[in-house]
Structure 1
């Protein structure tokens, strides 16, 4: 059990650069198992774009809401494909979450993002490098972009986008440095709690 260690290796105000460099890191994965997408949607237009892109995606309130009459947790249950803009706007901001196969809609997701926080996580396995003391860890390895964020776990919104490499729960600073160097970067601070 436990979480990966997430090392920030690139911070930029250009989302395309973050995406391109993250994909360069993904090319180093021995295998890419799954991709997890999430985004905070702030407008009805963003909700409609994501609904078209991810028809099976799960939409939910970004912040917990309660029913004013019962006090119970309010679940988002509108059909985003048929609801009008006014109905959607009453529920904003919304989050969308979806697991997708590698290489499917990920690039289109990245280009469809709005100004809200978003994350792409590529889960996989770094190759073993016994001579350097590095061993892949399929439960923990991967690459992540925090769009409009500087935390591997959801945090405050920023204007910058941060790329993270994830390694074993014990951390592997030498491997993180090697991965960062691959994209002309460096480890930008202490490891963070990953997935």
Structure 2
């Protein structure tokens, strides 16, 4: 009897949580803002977890300079974002019915959904967080070319998110993020003193193949 009551309470709390997420956090007018905030907090969480994990499990991490450790943690943010946005891009462009010819009579350039807008919002949150770190540690994490790249990306993705226009083409461009994890791994191998290893060589080949595939898909 007691277990049954506890189960009913749990389901009640679960229903309230689901209602809160659906009616507030994922309500259409709030999706851009909640997703941006979520993206920023996710970056902070990944940064802190990377620092904690690397301190314990990677001996080379403690031998790095302060700026190198910051970049090490920062690149983990970049990697997680790249995996997330590439996965969402591939799903929305090729697997979902959002941009299917038979799905809607609406022009494909004006199609959007809650999930497509949310994913772009998370990406905007990442660009804001990363741009903030670039400014804070300037020019250690990147020079003016990084600033220009991030500003242009931020404006383009934010416009597509807020207006709902051109999201298909935005996602097709974001598929090119497939190369980012490999590029970051290359930096990690270099920082760990493994530049002459087979892993470093294989990594270079994989980056080239990923870049080639990404360009073909985008075209």
- TM-score normalized with structure 2 length: 0.26
Q: Identify the structure with bigger relative contact order (alpha carbons < 8 Å, sequence gap 6+).
A: 1
Which protein has the larger Cα radius of gyration, Structure 1 or Structure 2? 2
Q: Higher strand fraction: Structure 1 or Structure 2?
A: 1
- TM-score normalized with structure 1 length: 0.28
Q: Higher helix fraction: Structure 1 or Structure 2?
A: 2
